[in-house]
Each structure stands twice: as C-alpha cells, then as structure tokens.
Amino acid sequence: MLYSVFMLALRSVRRNLLRSFLTILGIVIGVSAVITMVTLGNGATQAIETQITSLGTNLLMVMPGQRVPGGGGGGGGVPQFTEADAEAIRSQIGGVAAVAPQGRLSVTVVANGRNWATTVYGSTNEWFETGNWKLASGRIFDPDEQQGGAAVCIIGETVRRELYGGTAGLTGLGEALRVKQFSCDVIGILASKGQGGMGDQDDAVVVPLHTLQRRVTGSRKVSTLLVSMQDGSDSAPLKASLRQLMRERRKLAEADDDNFNIFDTQQLAETLSGTMGVLTSLLGAVAAVSLLVGGIGIMNIMLVSVTERTREIGLRLAVGALENEVLLQFLIEAVVLSALGGLVGIVIATVASYALSGVMGVPYAFDPSINLLALLFSAAIGVVFGYFPARRAARMDPIEALRHE
C-alpha cells in the first residue's frame, strides 16, 4: 500500500515538472546557502588555525607596550628588551624549549638588478625552532657568524622568487643580497609556509641578531622575545613565572602596570576559532530562514494542487480510499518535493563551496554531517508544511468533491 501511494505521489510530481521545479526553488536556495556558508566558515577557521600554528608550537610572544603580534616594537617611551632578558628566561624558567630575541625592520633589499620591500628579522638560530621554520636548502648560522655579526642571511621563498626567480640558473643560494647599506651572502632558503590571514610569512630576510643591531638598527635592543614551551607544559604557570621575571628585570613596582605584553598563540587560535564558529553558526541560521520561505512555497503549491484535484480526491474517497491513504499521498508529495530540493541544493552547494574556497584562499572543509542535516531538515519542512494541505485533502466530503467544477 505504501509503495502504491508513493508511486502515485511521484507521478503527480512528474506531471507538472516546471511547477515542481519552481516550488522547490526556495528549498534549493536555502539548503545551498546553509551548506555553503557553513563550509566556507569551517574552511576559514581551519585557515586561521593553520596560520597561527605556523607561527610556532606552544609559542609565547613577549612584546613591549600593548602591541599586537606582527606590529613591531613597542610604542614611544616603552623600554624594549635585551639579549640578557632572553638569557634570563632560558636559565630561570622551567618548561622552556627555546628562547629567541628578535629584532625586525621593514626595508628594501636589492639583488640581481631588482629591488623588493620586505621585512628583515635579526635573531639567533633558536628563532627557527620557535617558529617551526625549516630550510628548503642551505644552512643556518654558525656560532661565529652569530657572535661576530657576519654579513650572511637566509631568505624566504617570496623574496627568492621576486629577486632571483626570473633568472635562469639562479636559485638565490650563494648569491649576494644588499640590505640597506651592507651586502650579505645568502646561505639558506626557508621552506615555504604560504600566505593567509596572518600575511605572507615567506616575505622575510633573516640575519644574525648582532648583524641587524650593528649594521641596520644601530641599537642593541630587541623588540620581541619568542618563547617556545616544551611539549606538555602548562602555559598558565609558565606565563605567570615569565610575567614575574619580566617585572623584576624591568624594575616595576607592585603598583605599576605591566609595560609589556605576553601573547599565547594557542589561546589566540582558540579565541579566533571560537569567534569564527559563532559567526559561521550565525550565517548558517540567517541562510536557514530561506528554508522556511521555501516551506511556505511548498504549502502554497500543495493547497493549489488540492484544489485542482478535488474531483480526483472525491473519486478516490468514493471508491473506498481511506483518509489516511489520501493524507499520506499528499504528504509524500510534499516530502518528495522538499527532499528533491535538498538534494539539488547539496549538489549546488558542493560546487559553489569548492569554487569559492579557491577564490577565498581557504581550504575546502567538506562536512558530511551538515549535508545530511540539511537534507533531513528539508524533508522535515515537507512534512511540516505539507501536513495542512494533505489534511485538508483527506477530510473532503466525497459527494461535495465530486460536484466540484
């Protein structure tokens, strides 16, 4: 009985294909919008997490003033750090894997007849450990180069491409690179980390800290201390110890506010991921409103269909069809329409999400649960909005229905 009712409902849908398509259009738009928004939101969240993780594993960034990561040194009048601060952290705080004092300056570098505006970082070899940096080729600094401030440098993939990439036979390794008033030899190429929400991380030139201090900035101060925690370390007590040590070294009284800031990249990633999750849910909820509009469209068309088929309904009831069978027939029609709209919406959303992920530069984060949920929700809309027209059809008086013109 159920099979025959289903086939009867399916034939009714096929009988008016154009009207059926226009009826499910609201469901198609709603399902595709919800899935696309959620998929892109998940992809953006993954991109942010990847970018922050690429800054370093369990990384703490100690910066003067109230600057945010990536903003350079502290504001005017705020004392910066020294190498002695980094050595104190290394020797006095447990759970620390590596400490790298870092200076930075935006400059224009020149090589191979080309110039490129980039950021020059000065640090020690521990800088590569704190930032999870690997070398694509070449080597890192040796102890004598670090201590003596040698004219050597390691460049990122973007710098290599812009300055040496277009010249046949040049890889950048072993070539000369001019940074402001001095020339350095390229001894290494950093493995690419790519671009994202945190900017182009490959657009960098790294020199020994003493080289930056003596040949570029003329100051022994450093703007940032990068502290990498050991695996399994609890960041809360470590940050508390780090804060206390920095207050002592900067001679701050108990009533004085901190003139430095400690940024935890892991907490930053969790905060941004949580924020993106809320925004994704909000966008999905807004897009879901169109599903309700589609449901209203289904109810409207089903009411029209019931009116058009009044004599048919009366005839079925007159020859012995039960009210439940008529109710089930129209209910199945509504569910078939809404479920079909859900399937078409999933296909459109998959194509749109994949295409837009490439345009936006975020990973395509396929989530089968949201696709299944959207399909089930669209079918449920067919049940909810199709019940009233189906109930109206089932409760018709057969005699009055047969008299209908």
Q: What is the pLDDT of residues 225-269, one digit of tens each?
A: 999 888 777 778 888 899 999 999 988 888 888 889 888 877 776
Distance, in Å, from the CA atom of 304 to the CA atom of 337, rounded to the nearest integer, reads 15
Distance, in Å, from the CA atom of 44 to the CA atom of 67, rounded to the nearest integer, reads 25
- Residue 56 banded pLDDT, cuts 50, 70, 90: low
Asked if pLDDT for residue 365 goes beyond 50, the answer is yes
Question: Where does 230-347 show beta strands of DSSP type E?
Answer: 260-264
Distance, in Å, from the CA atom of 338 to the CA atom of 348, rounded to the nearest integer, reads 15
Asked if pLDDT for residue 152 goes beyond 70, the answer is yes
- Flag whether the pTM goes above 0.75: no
Residues 384-405 have a mean pLDDT of 73
Residue 368, both tokens: 């089968």
Predicted confidence at residue 341, as pLDDT, reads 85
Distance, in Å, from the CA atom of 260 to the CA atom of 312, rounded to the nearest integer, reads 81
Predicted confidence at residue 45, as pLDDT, reads 79
Higher pLDDT, 104 or 233: 104
- Residue 119 banded pLDDT, cuts 50, 70, 90: very high
- Residue 401 banded pLDDT, cuts 50, 70, 90: low
For 386, the 3-state DSSP assignment is helix
Predicted confidence at residue 1, as pLDDT, reads 55
Distance, in Å, from the CA atom of 125 to the CA atom of 129, rounded to the nearest integer, reads 7
Weakest-pLDDT range from 150-159, 215-224, 325-334: 325-334
Predicted confidence at residue 186, as pLDDT, reads 94
Q: Answer whether 28's CB lies under 8 Å from 348's CB.
A: yes
Position 15: which residue type?
Answer: R
The residue among 172, 370, 182 whose CA lies nearest residue 281 is 370
Q: Which residues, in sequence order, are bridge partners of residue 110?
A: 115, 178
Predicted confidence at residue 74, as pLDDT, reads 45
Distance, in Å, from the CA atom of 390 to the CA atom of 107, rounded to the nearest integer, reads 73
- Residue 169 banded pLDDT, cuts 50, 70, 90: low
Mean of the per-residue pLDDT values of the chain = 82
Distance, in Å, from the CA atom of 357 to the CA atom of 45, rounded to the nearest integer, reads 12
Distance, in Å, from the CA atom of 27 to the CA atom of 293, rounded to the nearest integer, reads 8
Contacts for 43 with CB less than 8 Å, ≥ 6 apart: 353, 357, 360, 362, 363, 364, 365
Distance, in Å, from the CA atom of 300 to the CA atom of 302, rounded to the nearest integer, reads 5
Asked if pLDDT for residue 6 goes beyond 80, the answer is no
Q: Answer whether 51's CB lies under 8 Å from 197's CB.
A: yes
For 118, the 3-state DSSP assignment is strand
Higher pLDDT, 385 or 347: 347
Predicted confidence at residue 102, as pLDDT, reads 93
Higher pLDDT, 347 or 232: 347
Weakest-pLDDT range from 1-10, 147-156, 164-173, 387-396: 1-10
Distance, in Å, from the CA atom of 371 to the CA atom of 352, rounded to the nearest integer, reads 14
Predicted confidence at residue 196, as pLDDT, reads 54
Residues 175-196 have a mean pLDDT of 87
Asked if pLDDT for residue 184 goes beyond 90, the answer is yes
- Residue 168 banded pLDDT, cuts 50, 70, 90: low
Distance, in Å, from the CA atom of 292 to the CA atom of 385, rounded to the nearest integer, reads 9
Distance, in Å, from the CA atom of 309 to the CA atom of 44, rounded to the nearest integer, reads 50
Q: Which residues, in sequence order, are bridge partners of residue 137?
A: 189
Please report the DSSP string for 193-237 in residue order: ---STT--TTSEEEEEHHHHIIIII--S-BSEEEEEEPTT--HHH
CB burial string 287-315: b at 16+ within 10 A, e below: bbebbeebbebbbebbeebbeebbebbbe
